[in-house]
Amino acid sequence: MSDTFVVVGGDAAGMSAASKAKREDPEMDVVVFEKGEWVSYAACGMPYYVKGEVEDLNDLVTVTPEEFRDERDIDLRTGHEVIGIDPGAETVTVSGDGKTFEQPYDHLLIATGASAIEPPFDGLGLDGVFTIHAMDEADAIENYVAAHSPDSAAIVGGGYVGIEMVEALSAHGIDVHLYEMLPHVLQPFGEAVAEAVEDHLREQGVQLHLATAVSGFTGAERVERVTLDDESHPADIAIVGVGVESNTDLAADAGIELGETGAIATDEYGRTNYETIYAAGDCAEARHVVTGNSDHVPLALTANRAGRAIGQTVAGNPEQVGEIAGTAIVKAFDLGAARTGIVDEEQAREAGFDPVSMTISAPTRAHYYPGASELTVTLLADRDSGRLLGGSVVGQEGAKRIDTVATALTAGMTVTELRNADLAYAPPFSPVWDPILTAAKVLEGEVADE
Amino acid sequence: MSDTFVVVGGDAAGMSAASKAKREDPEMDVVVFEKGEWVSYAACGMPYYVKGEVEDLNDLVTVTPEEFRDERDIDLRTGHEVIGIDPGAETVTVSGDGKTFEQPYDHLLIATGASAIEPPFDGLGLDGVFTIHAMDEADAIENYVAAHSPDSAAIVGGGYVGIEMVEALSAHGIDVHLYEMLPHVLQPFGEAVAEAVEDHLREQGVQLHLATAVSGFTGAERVERVTLDDESHPADIAIVGVGVESNTDLAADAGIELGETGAIATDEYGRTNYETIYAAGDCAEARHVVTGNSDHVPLALTANRAGRAIGQTVAGNPEQVGEIAGTAIVKAFDLGAARTGIVDEEQAREAGFDPVSMTISAPTRAHYYPGASELTVTLLADRDSGRLLGGSVVGQEGAKRIDTVATALTAGMTVTELRNADLAYAPPFSPVWDPILTAAKVLEGEVADE
């Protein structure tokens, strides 16, 4: 009899695992339980739907439920919630279609994702106050904007979702205020990026309120104002994007160990403390390529890659889930900003490094070639070993150059090795020394000679 | 008494070395002899001057002779040609200002560059027939176009200079014919790139004549026709760009060893067979990062980097010149094309590998995000070890993604390691799996498991 692979959660990690397992072993029974109706959707595309650049929410779906069922022969059950796991009996308890039943498994993947954090704000339940993490919310925001034509918006949280929603709502002619508790937006991107993005947001007419704590929202029927400690501002719509938290209750209740980050602890194959139970995606930890420690960076590629690896492993061909560098990129109007590895010096010290960093600005094309803009590059290295620890870039073009740094981190390169990389040059594409190389060249002077 | 560092040739390698040596050791006497009048200029920018996108030829000069002399305290003598080297006496013979004199050196750098190959064509001396390698030629072409408003042009040679000149002359409304002896343009970029570029050139109205040998040019006063084996076509202007050859006569006459490629042989510090004589830039060999063998790829970054390293070495702080991957990028109208490492399977076999390659096409942004285009990626690996050997990309955006591959080559990564690189994803910048990762994922299936 063939094995049964049960997957809890039908998004990136879950559907990647289901698809890969079935592709590797067509005999395997693959059952996916998804409590909602959407599967395999690009949550990252939601701001662009709200902005109006993506016309149909269905465009964000990569593979439809019908395709998973009919073409990939996966037993995908939407509207089914897994409410319990019994690791001893190797069964899950499922609620759906008005009944509750037990489903046995040989291999189980927990891919329950994460949820938007709901801070203890007053008036969070008012009409017109949204979080954005699920497809239904994107639709609700879009409908609300269409129905009420808000004049003003409060975005709470200057992370990448907040920044993207600022752009999305500004496109509707709404006067957008962004509230961030910390002194800077995009905290994981470091100060050089934050300052460039803040300047650009202001240029675009966005009202920035940094180091500002929101206490809640007020309004009669619908949200009307956002309240701070000692003042309040108009807000005809509000979006709260202060981060996500892993959905780990199901796992924790079953005795599955969580890591220090609060997400599910896993080994290099994505396995939990139970031999036949795996976890992947936004609910799981992964190993950081620079520190070697477990970390939690809920991002789409990590989820896809880990899911795919686990699908291959349960099909009998073990594959490691891979390490993460926390590489992220975000568009803020005309700017692109990106980061990878360790950008924060304090974080580097905590990981046992003696960090040194440099920030440079250099043109993205030959200085004489039309259309060049400045790219600001920050690189961080360990002073003694010269090992590259991380970096960030920000500019009107070329933010994907972060991939060069991410690749160097994956390879464990030193600053000198990166400086010696033979990157591509022609006037329309780069100066002779690519900005990444220039940054490496400057930083090299600050690290110990080999 | 301080050392004297003599540099022969005032372009990328020469001026980088002179500047770096002086910066590291301000006491050093640094003398540069340049037989022409231009120094430190961006030869790669010339097509864009001819096209009209760069207004002033002086914009291509990175640092002026006056700045080298006054700000960097370099004894730069333009209009001075070194006509002999005596390695025993450690002197060079210089001709300039109407006299000939001996200049002693403690360290000597030969940075004599390369010259455009002049094939044995009839009518090469006709007015309106140009090569393009020196600044004066760019000016002459620009003047000729302005003076004679040519209706038709013959570009001979489908390398990157040829492709760039096709674009430059097309911008003047000239009917451009491109002649290439080989079956494809851009031979070092491989077939996938060549075919995409050829299709695009045709779309742009360029007449391609592949596998077509030119025998020469005819005309009364000026060039009028380009002649092939058995026919001829109108050509009111002709540009011959069939490659370059290293300027090695000066070195060879002095007993300096040339390598198998015909360029000057050097060690990892850029040193020739004489302890105190170095060579760098288009006249010198460098070590290939994939094969470990000496190779000759005359490109700007290689020249700059090697010059800089030699400047540091002669100043007493030895620095290796770095290895090359032959990374190159070229714009062809709306397309960008790039390559790195070994792209040709035959060449891989000659270097002792068992090559396997895959070509994929994938969107440059999320499929639902506006403005995405297809990037075609080819990756080549060694079947047994899985080691990445090289790759190419071509598309309307994202050609700089070749840098990810180049960095992976520098680090000696396998296809699996590259596939596990944590590259940046957000809908405006990439699909979840960057096209480079998708290519690695597909190629991974063809190499042996670790």
For chain A, the domains span 4-115+245-314, 118-242, 338-444
**pLDDT per residue as tens digits for the range B245-286:** 999 999 999 999 999 999 999 999 999 999 999 999 999 999
Q: Give, in degrees to the nearest 5, the angle at Cα B12 between B9 and B16.
A: 95
With tokens 């800089």, the residue in question is B308
Instruction: With beta carbons under 8 A apart, name residues in chain B contacting A369.
Output: 45, 48, 53-54
Spot the catalytic one: A44, A63, A124, A182.
A44
Q: Could you tell me which of B39, B335, B288, B361 has the C-alpha nearest to residue B164?
A: B335
Q: How many CB atoms lie within 10 A of CB B276?
A: 16
CA distance B142 to chain A (A): 17
Average pLDDT over residues A190-210: 98
Say if the Cβ atoms of A410 and B420 lie within 8 Å: yes
Range B337-444: architecture per CATH: 2-Layer Sandwich (3.30)
Q: For chains A and B, count residue pairs whose Cβ atoms are closer than 8 Å.
A: 217
How distant, in Å, are the alpha carbons of A152, A233, A273 from that of A317? 54, 57, 20
Confidence of residue A40 (pLDDT cuts 50, 70, 90): confident
* Separation CA B230–CA B228 (nearest Å): 6
| Cα four-point dihedral sign A370, A371, A373, A379 | negative
Lowest mean pLDDT among A212-221, A415-424, B55-64: B55-64
Cα–Cα distance list, B201 to B185, B207, B340, B396 (Å)? 10, 8, 22, 13
According to DSSP, the residues that pair with B356 across neighbouring strands are B381
Angle CA(B137)–CA(B59)–CA(B334) in degrees, nearest 5? 80
Q: Of B23, B24, B44, B369, which residue is the catalytic one?
A: B44
**Collapsed DSSP state (helix, strand, coil) of residue A3:** coil
A406 → closest Cβ in B338, B417, B423: B423
Give me the pLDDT at residue A180, please.
Answer: 98
Closest residue in chain A to residue B43, using alpha carbons only: A427
User: Whole-angstrom Cα distance, residue A206 to residue A200?
Assistant: 9
Q: Is the pLDDT of residue A339 over 70?
A: yes
Kindly list the residues from chain B whose CB atom is less than 8 angstroms away from the CB atom of residue A329: 424-426, 429-430
Residue of A42, A412, A426 lying closest to B366 (CB–CB):
A42
Would the CB atoms of A430 and B338 count as touching at under 8 Å?
A: no
Q: Residue B182 above 80 pLDDT?
A: yes
Q: Looking at beta carbons, which residues of chain B come within 8 Å of A46?
A: none
- Confirm if B307 and B40 have CB atoms less than 8 A apart: no
Q: Give chain B positions within 8 Å (CB) of A62.
A: 367
Name the band, by pLDDT with cuts 50, 70 and 90, for residue A132: confident
For B397-432, the pLDDT digits (tens) are 999 999 999 999 999 999 999 999 999 999 999 999
First to last CA, chain A: 59
CA distances A30 to A1, A23, B448, Å, are 13, 11, 28
The pLDDT of residue B408: 98
Q: Are B186 and B197 in contact (CB under 8 A)?
A: yes
Under 8 Å CB-to-CB from B70, ≥6 apart: which residues? Answer: none
Contact A401 B400 (CB under 8 A): yes
Chain B residue closest to A297 (CA)? B422
Q: From the CA of A403, how many Å to the nearest CA of chain B? A: 5
For residues A331 and A440, what is the distance between their CA atoms, to the nearest angstrom?
A: 24
CB-based contact A407 B420, cutoff 8 Å: no
Q: Quick one: which of B85, B114, B82 has its CA closest to B281?
A: B114
d(CA A384, CA B148): 63
Alpha-carbon gap: A76 to the closest alpha carbon of chain B (Å): 22
The answer, yes or no, to whether residue A292 has pLDDT greater than 90, is yes
Please give the average per-residue pLDDT across B32-48, as a whole number.
91
Q: How many residues does chain A have?
A: 450
Would an 8 Å CB–CB cutoff place B135 in contact with chain A?
Answer: no
Is B283 among the residues known to form the active site? no
Q: If contacts are CB pairs under 8 Å, which of residues 280-299 in chain A contact chain B?
A: 289, 299
The partner residue sitting opposite A304, judged by closest CB among B368, B369, B433, is: B433
Across the range B341-355, mean pLDDT stands at 97
**Greater confidence, A131 or B349?**
B349
Q: Is the CB of residue B329 less than 8 Å away from at least one CB of chain A?
A: yes
Closest-CA residue of chain B to A403: B423
Q: DSSP characters for B184-253?
A: SSSGGG-HHHHHHHHHHHHHTT-EEETT--EEEEE-SSB--EEEESS-EEE-SEEEE---EEE--HHHHH
**Contact between residue B430 and residue A437 where contact means Cβ atoms under 8 Å apart:** no
Q: Please report, rounded to a whole number, the percentage of residues in chain A having pLDDT higher than 70.
A: 99
Q: What is the mean pLDDT of chain A?
A: 96
Residue A413 near chain B (CB below 8 Å): yes
pLDDT value at position B399? Answer: 98
Residue A239 near residue A130, CB atoms below 8 Å: yes
Is it the case that residue B195 has pLDDT exceeding 80?
yes
Is residue A418 less than 8 Å (CB to CB) from chain B?
yes
Which of B20, B403, B404, B420 to mutate to probe the A interface, most A CBs <10 Å? Answer: B403
Question: Which tens digits make up the pLDDT trace of B46-66?
Answer: 999 999 999 998 899 889 999
| A233 strand-pairing partners | A226
Residues of A in contact with B342 (CB under 8 A): none
Which member of A329, A398, A404 has the closest CB to residue B425?
A329
pLDDT confidence bin for B41, thresholds 50/70/90: confident
Confidence of residue A38 (pLDDT cuts 50, 70, 90): confident
Query: Mutation test of the interface with chain A: which of B418, B422, B429, choosing the one with the most A Cβ atoms within 10 A?
Result: B422
What is the residue-averaged pLDDT of chain B?
Answer: 96
Where are the alpha helices (H) located in B85-176, listed in sequence order?
A: 135-148, 160-170
Domain B118-242 shares a fold with domain B337-444: no
Which superfamily does A118-242 belong to? Answer: FAD/NAD(P)-binding domain (3.50.50.60)
Q: Which DSSP string corresponds to B23-66?
A: HH-TTSEEEEEESSS--SB-GGGHHHHHHTSS--GGGGBSS-HH
**Which of B400, B401, B444 to mutate to test binding with chain A, by most A CBs within 10 Å of its CB?**
B400
Stretch 142-181 of chain A: residues touching chain B, C-beta under 8 Å: 160
The class of domain A338-444 in CATH terms is: alpha beta
pLDDT of residue B449: 61
- Mean pLDDT, rounded, for B347-351: 96
Cβ distance A331 to A164 under 8 Å?
yes
Measure Cα distances from B15 to B110, B136, B311 in Å.
Answer: 11, 19, 9
Contact between B392 and B190 (Cβ < 8 Å)? yes
Residue A236 has pLDDT above 70, yes or no: yes
Q: Tell me if chain A has a CB within 8 Å of the CB of B12.
A: yes
Q: Chain B, 214-243: which have a CB under 8 Å from a chain A CB?
A: none
> What residues in A contact B367, CB-CB < 8 Å?
59, 62
Residue A449 has pLDDT above 70, yes or no: no
Task: Average the pLDDT over B324-344 and give the result.
Answer: 98
Of A42, A299, A340, the CB nearest to B427: A42
Choose among A340, A366, A403: nearest Cβ to B42.
A366
Distance CA A190, CA A390 (A): 11
Lookup result for tokens 């129905």 = A147
The closest of B213, B231, B211, B233 to B223, measured between CA atoms, is: B233
Report the C-alpha gap between A71 and A51 in whole angstroms.
33
Q: Is A70 on the interface with B (CB under 8 A)?
A: no
Beta-carbon count within 10 A of A292 CB: 11
Cβ within 8 Å, pair A42-B160: no
- With CB atoms and an 8 Å threshold, state whether A404 touches B403: yes
Q: Which of A56, A317, A422, A444 to mutate to test the interface with B (most CBs of B within 10 A)?
A: A422
> B1-34: string of b/e by CB count within 10 Å (b at 16+)?
eebbbbbbbbbbbbbbbbbbbbebbeebbbbbbb
Considering only CB atoms, which chain B residues are within 8 Å of A421? 325, 403, 406-407, 410
A:361-400 residues touching chain B, CB 8 A cutoff? 366-370, 398-400
Query: Which pLDDT does position B38 carry in this prediction?
Result: 87
Who wins on pLDDT, B135 or B369? Answer: B369
Q: What pLDDT is stored for residue A137 in this prediction?
A: 87
pLDDT in tens, A8-33: 999 999 999 999 999 999 999 999 99
User: With contacts defined as CB-CB under 8 Å, which chain B residues touch A324?
Assistant: 422
What amino acid occupies position B69?
R
Please give the CATH number for the structural domain made up of B4-115+245-314. Answer: 3.50.50.60
Q: Is the Cβ of A329 closer than 8 Å to some Cβ of chain B? A: yes
The answer to whether residue B64 neighbours chain A at the CB level (below 8 Å) is no
Q: A44 touching B, CB under 8 A?
A: yes
